[in-house]
């Protein structure tokens, strides 16, 4: 059904990104708080993500990962604290166009085709280049289904279409909320290969995941529990801190300690 994209098509043409004027981190979050009624989803969360790395958000269900990601893009207004993306306080319309966001639940127009969805999200960020749209569809191996309405796709294909929507405008910051749920292992490996190439081009990725072999691939990890970062570092550092052999053991240690 689908064809694996060639490495050349996966990577597209690397392009230099304009440097941050003052070398600001990609993401700076300070003492972020958000309450939903009785639930305190974020309780003074602080985080810094340098440019060009993949930062993984780990943590149990309900820890606050999605809430944090939504605050980064300005979809929810925090009760307190500060969010800066590429040095600019959020929300900011110009910076918004530099962010790609893949939501945890697919947020696609079901009656529109894959291509129409990708074109729509690219246009929202001011991009109308048909090549950019085709490239991101090819990247997720959906070229053969580009004209299919989204409501005729399998679950994994919808995930792939969502990723294409997040990528088409070539964002400088990519926010991926559990991007590979339902994605088959072969394509998952290809996705991560592409994420690495994006990092090499200066794109920063913040990704939430419950998949430990994905967490292993991140440059830095933040373990979130009860709306705060409980521990942060490389996979090795988290393992050492938890006296654990595997990242899964470390996860259980932090989740239960």
Ligand X SMILES: Nc1ncnc2c1ncn2[C@@H]1O[C@H](COP(=O)(O)OP(=O)(O)OP(=O)(O)O)[C@@H](O)[C@H]1O
Give contact residues for ligand X (rule: CB under 6 A). Answer: 36, 39, 41, 59, 61-67, 104
Shortest reach from residue 250's CB to ligand X, in Å = 17
- Among 60-68, 72-80, 209-217, 223-231, which window interacts with Mg ion (CB under 5 A)? 60-68
Choice from 26, 28, 54, 66 touching Mg ion (CB under 5 A) = 66
Those residues whose C-beta lies under 8 Å from the C-beta of residue 54, and which sit 6 or more positions away, are: 195, 196, 199, 204, 205, 206, 207, 217, 218, 219, 220
Which residues lie closer than 8 Å to 129 by C-beta, 6 or more apart?
A: 122
Q: Rank residues 104 and 116 by Cβ distance to ligand X and give the closer one.
A: 104
> Smallest distance, Å, CB 2 to ligand X?
27
Q: Site residues for Mg ion, window 200-229 (CB under 5 A)?
A: none
* Minimum distance of Mg ion from residue 61's CB (angstroms): 7
Q: Which does 200 bind (CB under 5 to 8 A by kind): ligand X, Mg ion, none?
A: none
Longest distance between any two alpha carbons in the chain, whole Å: 51
What is the closest distance, in whole angstroms, from the C-beta atom of residue 229 to ligand X in the complex? Answer: 12
Nearer to Mg ion, 176 or 250 (CB): 176
Closer to ligand X by CB, 69 or 139: give it: 69
Decide whether 41 or 165 has the Cβ nearer to ligand X: 41
Angle between helix axes 130-139 and 155-167 (nearest 10 degrees) is 140
Identify the helix (H) or strand (E) that includes residue 253: helix 247-256
- Subset of residues 81 to 110 that bind Mg ion, contact rule: CB under 5 A: 104
Nearer residue to Mg ion within complex by CB, 2 or 104: 104
What, of Mg ion, ligand X, none, does residue 61 touch, CB below 5 to 8 Å by kind?
ligand X
Residue 226 CB: number of other CB atoms within 10 A?
15
Entry field: residues in the chain: 257
Q: Are 141 and 159 in contact (CB under 8 A)?
A: no
Tell me the chain's radius of gyration from C-alpha atoms. Answer: 18
**CA 171 to each of CA 26, 57, 116: distance values in angstroms, whole numbers, following the listed order:** 12, 19, 19
Q: Give least dist CB 42 to Mg ion, A.
A: 13
The contact set with Mg ion (CB under 5 A) reads 65-66, 104
């Amino acid at each position: 059904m689908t064809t694996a994209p060639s490495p050349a098509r996966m990577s597209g043409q690397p392009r230099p990104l304009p440097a941050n004027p003052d070398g600001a981190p990609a993401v700076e979050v300070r003492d972020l708080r958000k309450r939903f009624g009785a639930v305190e989803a974020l309780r003074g969360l602080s985080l810094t993500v340098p440019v060009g790395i993949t930062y993984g958000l780990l943590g149990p269900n309900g820890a606050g990962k999605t809430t944090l990601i939504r605050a980064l893009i300005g979809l929810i207004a925090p009760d307190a604290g500060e969010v800066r993306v590429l040095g600019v306080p959020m929300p900011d319309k110009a910076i918004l166009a530099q962010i790609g966001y893949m939501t945890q639940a697919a947020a696609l127009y079901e009656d529109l085709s894959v291509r129409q969805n990708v074109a729509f999200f690219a246009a929202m960020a001011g991009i109308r280049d048909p090549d950019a749209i085709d490239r991101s569809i090819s990247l997720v191996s959906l070229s053969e289904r580009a004209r299919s309405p989204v409501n005729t796709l399998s679950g994994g294909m919808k995930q792939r279409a969502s990723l294409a929507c997040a990528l088409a405008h070539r964002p400088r910051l990519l926010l991926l909320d559990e991007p590979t749920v339902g994605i088959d292992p072969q394509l998952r490996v290809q996705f991560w290969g592409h994420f690495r190439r994006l990092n090499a081009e200066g794109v920063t990725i913040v990704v939430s995941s419950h998949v430990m072999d994905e967490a292993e691939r991140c440059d830095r990890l933040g373990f979130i529990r009860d709306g705060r970062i409980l521990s942060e570092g490389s996979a090795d550092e988290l393992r050492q801190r938890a006296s654990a052999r595997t990242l899964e053991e470390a996860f259980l240690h932090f989740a239960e300690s």
